[in-house]
Amino acid sequence: MRWKSSYVFAAGILAVIVLYFVVRGIFGGHDREAQATEAKNAAIAARHQDPLVQATLIGEQIKPYDVVVRGHTEAARTVVVRAETAGVVAATPVVQGAFVRAGQVLCRQEVEARQATLDQARAAQKSRQLQRQASAELAEKGFRSPTQVLQDQANLDAATAAVRQAQVTLDQINIRAPFAGVFDHRDAEVGTYLSPGQPCGTVIELDPVLIVGDIAETETGQVHVGAPATARLVSGETLSGRVRYVAHDADPQTRTYRVEIVARNPRAAVRSGLSAEVQVSAGAGPAHLVPETALVLDAAGRQGVRYVQPDGRVAFAPVKVLDEAPGGVWVAGLRGNVRLITVGQSYVSEGQKVRVAAR
């Protein structure tokens, strides 16, 4: 039976389509396998490829070092002025909180019999003086022996000493300021009976003024007597001075060392007890300005930075933050120019080989 030409044409098309799918199934499978193998190999290569980081060349600079000390102002001298003799307070001529001169009377005790004792001593001195003069005149005429003259001289010396003692006793009723400063607190009022050693009040010296604080044991080698310092007070004022004392014995509780800075304080404008932040000059040395985000912690918990060595491996350097700046932080602990890792530093470890991205 003969087929129609249309049937033959349709059968040919169908055969071509079947052949296409058969060929595609055979060769397409190999392509998918090749693609899967290539992807697997690429993944393995990626895992074995060195990680990519970004690094910036940071140069070494010489920077002045400052040690920051937190402390407070303190009077240069504080003295509790006490009575030297017994007596009732008769006057308190200085108002509490007033400025006083050295030697100014703060409390005055009653005179009582002290003036009479002085008058009596002076009269005895006058009598001994006349007796000594008469003995000398008689000795010149041969009516008095040299021994008697010497005895009269000794009596005159004793009378003079008694006058001096009576004067000192009388002057002791005046309790005076030992130095110029502020009469910061009065302990005795008019009518108070003071025994020897009991306080009249407290005098403090505020010019110069001290700024005292504590420094860590790691900073003791950087702070020296005579180093310039600047103190910024909580009141907004600024004082300039120099270190006058650095303790050699640590506080057993805090393991810190006391440091004292002395500064001029005209008219005692700055009060004692104000909180202060002090920057003490500690010389100059090498430092690097690094981005604050580049700081990391190593496995031991030390703060530092990671950088790329010339052989392409990562190294860690512990650093100490010296100061803050608009472009980052100043740190000490690095040497020379370093390729600092700025991106990816938290995902690499020491000794690992890395690739540095081109910038």
Q: What is the pTM of this model?
A: 0.62
Residue 18 is inside which H or E element, if any?
A: helix 5-48
Instruction: Compute the Cα dihedral for 157, 159, 162, 166 and give only its sign.
Output: negative
Residue 245 is inside which H or E element, if any?
A: strand 238-246
Q: What confidence score (pLDDT) does residue 134 get?
A: 84
Q: Taking a C-beta distance cutoff of 8 angstroms, is the pair 249, 303 a contact?
A: no
Q: What confidence score (pLDDT) does residue 106 get?
A: 94
**Domain total of the chain:** 3
Residues 290, 264: one domain?
A: no
Q: What is the CATH number of the domain that holds 246?
A: 2.40.30.170
In a domain, 196, yes or no: no
In a domain, 25, yes or no: no
Query: Is residue 305 helix, strand or coil?
Result: strand
- Which tokens go with 224? 């020296």
In a domain, 259, yes or no: yes
Instruction: Give the end-to-end CA distance of the chain in Å, rounded to a whole number.
Output: 80
> Which one, of 214, 222, 215, 218, lies nearest residue 285 by Cα?
222
Residues 276, 291: one domain?
A: no
In a domain, 38, yes or no: no
Residues 293, 278: one domain?
A: no
Average pLDDT score over residue span 226-255: 91
Domain boundary among 238, 257, 282: 282
**DSSP letter string, 192-237:** -EE-TT-EEEEEEEEEEEEEEEEEEGGGTTT--TT-EEEEEETTS-
| Residue given tokens 């006057």 in the structure block | 91
**DSSP letter string, 95-162:** -TT-EE-TT-EEEEE--TTHHHHHHHHHHHHHHHHHHHHHHHHHHHTTSS-HHHHHHHHHHHHHHHHH
In a domain, 139, yes or no: yes
- Return the percentage of the chain with pLDDT > 70, whole number: 87
Burial class (CB in 10 A: 0-12, 13-18, 19+), 206: buried
> Which one, of 314, 323, 312, lies nearest residue 296 by Cα?
314
Instruction: Compute the Cα dihedral for 34, 37, 43, 47 and give only its sign.
Output: negative
**Cα 250 from Cα 252, distance rounded (Å):** 6
Higher pLDDT, 272 or 41: 272
> Which one, of 342, 144, 183, 181, lies nearest residue 265 by Cα?
181
In a domain, 168, yes or no: yes
- Which tokens go with 153? 């001289």
Q: Give per-residue pLDDT as tens, 117-136.
A: 888 888 988 988 888 888 88
In a domain, 255, yes or no: yes
Q: What is the CATH number of the domain that holds 138?
A: 1.10.287
Is pLDDT at 144 greater than 90 in this prediction?
Answer: no
Q: Residue 56 sits in which domain range?
A: 52-63+286-356
User: In DSSP terms, which residues pair with 287 in a beta bridge?
Assistant: 61
Residues 278, 209: one domain?
A: yes
**Cα 37 from Cα 49, distance rounded (Å):** 18
Contacts of 234 (CB under 8 A, 6+ apart): 274, 275, 276
DSSP state of 293: G
Domain boundary among 259, 282, 305: 282
Q: Give per-residue pLDDT as tens, 32-43.
A: 565 655 656 555
In a domain, 46, yes or no: no
**Cα 104 from Cα 101, distance rounded (Å):** 5
Residues 294, 275: one domain?
A: no
Q: What confidence score (pLDDT) does residue 179 get?
A: 93
Average pLDDT score over residue span 326-347: 91
**Cα 248 from Cα 221, distance rounded (Å):** 11
User: In DSSP terms, which residues pair with 25 in a beta bridge?
Assistant: none
Domain boundary among 263, 282, 301: 282
Q: What confidence score (pLDDT) does residue 181 get?
A: 92
At residue 74 the predicted structure's pLDDT band, cuts being 50, 70 and 90, is very high
ω before 199 within 30° of 0 (cis)?
no
Average pLDDT score over residue span 299-324: 91
Q: What is the CATH number of the domain that holds 311?
A: 2.40.420.20
